[in-house]
Structure 1
C-alpha cells in the first residue's frame, strides 16, 4: 500500500502545488490523500493512480476555495511560494508535454492560474501540464467530458492571452541574471537599465512582513531607481547569493547571517528582463532555503 502511494507521490505533489501555489497547502492535501488511500477498500480501487489523482485534485479544489478569501486580504501582491525544482526529472503521465510541464510550474503561469476558477485551474493542470485524457479528468471531477473540454478550452485561452512571453535558454538566463545582480548590488542604475525592458514590471511579495513595494512597480526607470537605491544595502549586510532553479527557471536566493532574506526570479525575453519577481515574505522562503541545506 505504501509502495504504491510513493510510486505516484511525485505526480500528486506536482498537481497539488500547481493547484495551490503553496508548499504547505500542497503537502497537507497529499497527506490527506494518503489517509484516504490507506482507508480505501482495495477491492474497489481498480486503478490506483486514477484514484489518487482524483482524490488529490478534489482535495486541492476544496483547499483552493478555502484560501481564496485569505489571499484577497493579503497585504500587497500575492505570489506563489518559490519552489526549488528540477522539472527535467519530474515524472509525468504518458502523453504529457515536457515543455508545458516545465512552463506550468513557472511563477508567470502560476500567477495567471490564480485568475481561473478552481475547476478551470484543475482542468488546466491535469490536461495542459500533465496530459491526462479528457475522460479521466471528467471522472476525477465528476463532470461530463463535454463540459471538461469546454473548461479546458476556456482555461487554455485565458492563460495564453495573459501569460508573458519568455525564453528559457539557461545560458542566456545565467548571463543576464549575473549582469542584473552585479548592477543591483553595485547601485549601478545605468547597468540596470541595460538589462531591464522599458516596460519591465517589479512584483514583490512581502505579505507586510518585510520591506517591499506594496504595488507593482512599472517601467525601467522606476524599477531601476528602486533597485539602485536598495541594492547597496546587500553589501553592507554581508548578503550572499546562491543561483538555483526556482520554479523551472534560474533564480537567486539571498541569505543574511545564514537566514533566507529574499528570492528573485525573472521572466526574460529578447535579452531583457520583462518581469522581476521579488519574494521576501519570510513564511515563503523557509522551504526554498531548506532545499539548499539538505
Structure 2
C-alpha cells in the first residue's frame, strides 16, 4: 500500500507505517464478519480508499488511524451484511463461507498481511453459526467477544447504545451456546476424517455409515457456477450412498488431507484440478456436518493453476 502522490513534490505520509500495519487486522476482522475472503479484501480496499480520499490535514487530525480504519471497515461490513441477505436469496444452492487453507498450503504468492489467523473463530462450524445472526449481532459479537473492543467503541460503530450492544452480544452468545456442540480434540477429528477419506476411496458404504452420525448432513455450495445440490443431504446412510455415487460418476478422484479453516478437512481433486473443499464438524466420534464448497470463485487460495 503506497500513498497516492498529491503533487510532483509530495512529502511521504508520516502516518503510512501505522496505516499499513493495520491491514492484517482489518482482513481478519472483515473475514469473520462476512465469511468471504474476497469480500473482506474489497472491504479493506474500500477502507483505504476512504482514508486516502481525505486531505493530509484531515488525516493528521485523526488521533488513532487504526481506530478510524476499524470503524470504517466495520461499518462497511455492516452494510454488506444487510445487502448480503437479499443477494443470497437468489444464490443457487446453500451459501457456505469461503474456506481457507493453512498458511503453509496457501497457493500463489499471497501477501502475509492478507492471511487470516486460523483459530476457533474461523472454523466452518462457527462461521455457519454466525450466518444465523442479524448483521448487528454479528458485528457486535465479533468486535467485542472475538477482538475485545469495549462496548463504548462498538456502540459508535453499529450506531446503538452501549447497553443495546451488550444485549446484542448476549443474544449472539445464546445462539452459539444452544447450537454449538462440544469440541472434539483436533487429533481425534483428524483421525476420523482420515478414516472417512479411506472409506470413501474404497467406496465402502458400511464404513462410511459407521463414521457418520445417523443425522449427518452434507451441504453443497455451487453458487450457480457449477452444479449444486439445491437441498442438503440428510441422514448418515443417504450421505454415504451419495458420496459413493459421486465417486463412481467421477473416477480417479484424488482426496487430500488438508487443514480447512484451522480444522481437519479434505480437498477433492480430479486431474490436478481442485473440485471441492470439504470442511467437517466432528461431534464425539461421529461426523455430524460436512460442508462441500464447489464454487470456483471461493477456491482461489486452493488453486495452483
The normalised TM-score by structure 2 is: 0.84
2:168 matched to 1:154? Answer: no
CA drift at 1:214: 1.8
Q: Which runs of 5+ in 1 are unaligned?
A: 92-97
Aligned to 2:226: 210
- Pick closer, same or farther for the CA change 1:24–1:166 going to 2, 3 Å: same
Deviations 1:227-257 (A, max 9, x none): 12222445x2x33333322112112222223
Deviations 1:159-200 (A, max 9, x none): 222234432x23212211111011112210011012111111
Deviations 1:71-107 (A, max 9, x none): 0111121111111245xxx99xxxxxx9xx8222111
CA drift at 1:34: 1.0
Aligned to 1:128: 145
2:270 matched to 1:253? Answer: no
Structure 1 counterpart of 2:63, from 39, 43, 46: 46
2:115 matched to 1:114? Answer: no
1:1-294 pair list within 5 angstroms? 1-40=15-54, 41-85=58-102, 102-167=119-184, 169-233=185-249, 236=251, 238-289=252-303
* Number of equivalenced pairs: 277
CA drift at 1:17: 0.9
- Report the secondary structure of 1:78's partner residue: coil
- Cα distance in 1, alignment partners of residues 273 and 154 from structure 2: 42
Instruction: Answer with 1 or 2: which has the greater Rg.
Output: 2
- Pick closer, same or farther for the CA change 1:288–1:5 going to 2, 3 Å: farther
Please tell me whether the aligned partners of residues 50 and 136 of structure 1 are also in contact (alpha carbons under 8 angstroms): no
- Pick closer, same or farther for the CA change 1:242–1:109 going to 2, 3 Å: same
- Cα distance in 1, alignment partners of residues 229 and 279 from structure 2: 16
- Pick closer, same or farther for the CA change 1:11–1:85 going to 2, 3 Å: farther
CA drift at 1:155: 1.5
Please tell me whether the aligned partners of residues 184 and 232 of structure 1 are also in contact (alpha carbons under 8 angstroms): no
The normalised TM-score by structure 1 is: 0.87
CA drift at 1:118: 1.1
CA drift at 1:211: 4.0
- Cα distance in 2, alignment partners of residues 34 and 212 from structure 1: 36
Aligned to 2:6: none
Pairwise CA RMSD: 2.2
- Cα distance in 2, alignment partners of residues 240 and 2 from structure 1: 46
Q: Which runs of 5+ in 2 are unaligned?
A: 1-14, 104-111
Q: Which moved more, 1:134-143 or 1:261-270?
A: 134-143
- Cα distance in 2, alignment partners of residues 64 and 211 from structure 1: 25
Please tell me whether the aligned partners of residues 213 and 236 of structure 2 are also in contact (alpha carbons under 8 angstroms): yes
Please tell me whether the aligned partners of residues 32 and 121 of structure 2 are also in contact (alpha carbons under 8 angstroms): yes
